[in-house]
């Protein structure tokens, strides 16, 4: 399998705290890649650097063979990385459908004049945006909630909606920041099926997760961060047995 993403020596410091220290990792095409580590290990920081929310001190990221423009989220999105947020960030006063339609912004072009004049091209595009958004809502399984305001959706549905919005940008890499957080067992199973479906449709998935069972069952490869450093990167079976990982994070759960 060819490489999709290669991070080289990413470092990030917040004041005196070294949040990321020389983190290098590679993600292959069409794999589900897990990023785990104890609280404060730097997972989300890495995520935010990758998706352009934070600037990095050192290092660079190659994505699909090109250097990623770090530090501007919309360019990262345009390069083909879509993300969700740990603390769900939806457009609360827009409907579920509209949230996904916003995700289509990047892949569409109609401007002010098209909108004012309602040109045939703009109308066609608008209809296509709507159709695609409806498809995506259906895909993540919340089509019946299309007309509801995002803030009125249940927690699990909000997570799904965020994934639908991310998918609307037609990414190559879908980056999910703790998607199973706060979900019950049934919801987690459904989420797992959704992620596997996304991969089956040809996308690559980067997953940050606390739920070790989910990560180990779902991911092709896993990287472990501890105090901002990568201490392991391999298939789950090997990572699970790595003494450094056990010490840093897994603790007793390996014996379960």
Partner 1 sequence: MKPYVRFPRWFGLALIALALLLLPHLLTQVGTAWVRIANFAILFIFLSLGLNIVVGMAGLLDLGYVAFYAVGAYVWALLASPHFGLHMPFWAILPLGALLACIAGAVLGAPTLRLRGDYLAIVTLGFGEIVRIFMNNLSSPFNITNGPKGITRIDGMNVAGMNFSATDTFLGIPFSGPTKYYYVLLLLLLLVIVVNLRLQNSRIGRAWVAIREDELAAKAAGINTRNVKLLAFAMGASFGGIAGGMFAAMQGFVSPESFVLHESIMILAMVVLGGMGNVWGVIAGALLLSFVPELLRYTVEPAQKALFGKMLIEPEVLRMLLFGMALVLMMRFRPAGLWPESRHKREMSEMKEEAA
Binding mask 64-83 for partner 1 (x = CB under 8 A): --------xxx--xx---xx
Quick one: CA torsion of 162, 52, 220, 236, rounded to 10 degrees?
Answer: -110
> Which listed range, 97-105, 186-194, 212-220, 223-231, lies at the site for partner 1 (CB under 8 A)?
97-105
DSSP string, 197-249: HHHHTT-EEEEE-S-HHHHHHH-SEEEEEETTEEEEEE-HHHHHH-HHHIIII
CA distance 229 to 19: 8
Q: Is 51 in the site for partner 1 (CB under 8 A)?
A: yes
In 184-203, which positions are buried (b, 16+ CB within 10 angstroms) versus exposed (e)?
eeebbeebbebbeebbeeeb
Among residues 41, 49, 70, 97, the one that binds partner 1 under rule CB under 8 A: 97
CA distance 82 to 168: 9
DSSP SS3 for 22: strand
Looking at the Cβ atoms of 2 and 93, the one nearer to partner 1 is: 93
Looking at the Cβ atoms of 92 and 182, the one nearer to partner 1 is: 92
State in angstroms the smallest separation of the CB of 83 from partner 1: 6
State in angstroms the smallest separation of the CB of 114 from partner 1: 8
Q: Is 90 in the site for partner 1 (CB under 8 A)?
A: yes
- Binding residue count for partner 1, defined by CB under 8 A: 46
Contact positions toward partner 1, by CB under 8 A?
Answer: 51-53, 72-74, 77-78, 82-83, 85, 89-95, 97-98, 101-106, 108, 110-112, 114-116, 118, 122, 125-126, 129, 146-149, 165-166, 168-169
């Amino acid at each position: 399998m060819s490489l999709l993403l290669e991070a080289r020596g990413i470092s990030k410091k917040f004041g005196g705290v070294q949040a990321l220290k020389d983190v290098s990792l590679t993600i292959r095409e069409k794999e589900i890649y897990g990023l785990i580590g104890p609280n404060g290990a730097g997972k989300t920081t890495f995520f935010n650097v990758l998706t352009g929310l934070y600037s990095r001190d050192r290092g660079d990221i190659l994505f699909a063979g090109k250097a990623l423009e770090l530090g501007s989220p919309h360019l990262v999105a345009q390069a083909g990385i879509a993300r969700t947020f740990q603390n769900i960030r939806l457009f609360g006063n827009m409907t579920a459908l509209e949230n996904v339609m916003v995700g289509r912004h990047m892949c569409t072009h109609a401007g002010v004049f098209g909108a004012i004049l309602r040109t045939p091209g703009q109308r066609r595009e608008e209809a296509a945006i709507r159709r695609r958004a409806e498809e995506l809502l259906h895909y993540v399984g919340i089509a019946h909630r299309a007309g509801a305001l995002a803030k009125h959706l249940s927690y699990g549905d909000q997570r799904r909606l965020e994934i639908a919005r991310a998918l609307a940008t037609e990414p190559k890499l879908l980056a999910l920041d703790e998607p199973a957080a706060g979900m019950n067992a049934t919801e987690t199973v459904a989420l797992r099926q959704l992620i596997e479906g996304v991969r089956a449709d040809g996308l690559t998935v980067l997953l940050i997760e606390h739920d070790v069972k989910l990560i180990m069952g779902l991911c092709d490869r896993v990287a472990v961060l501890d105090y901002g450093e990568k201490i392991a990167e391999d298939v789950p079976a090997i990572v699970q047995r790595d003494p450094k990982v056990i010490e840093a994070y897994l603790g007793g759960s390996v014996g379960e």
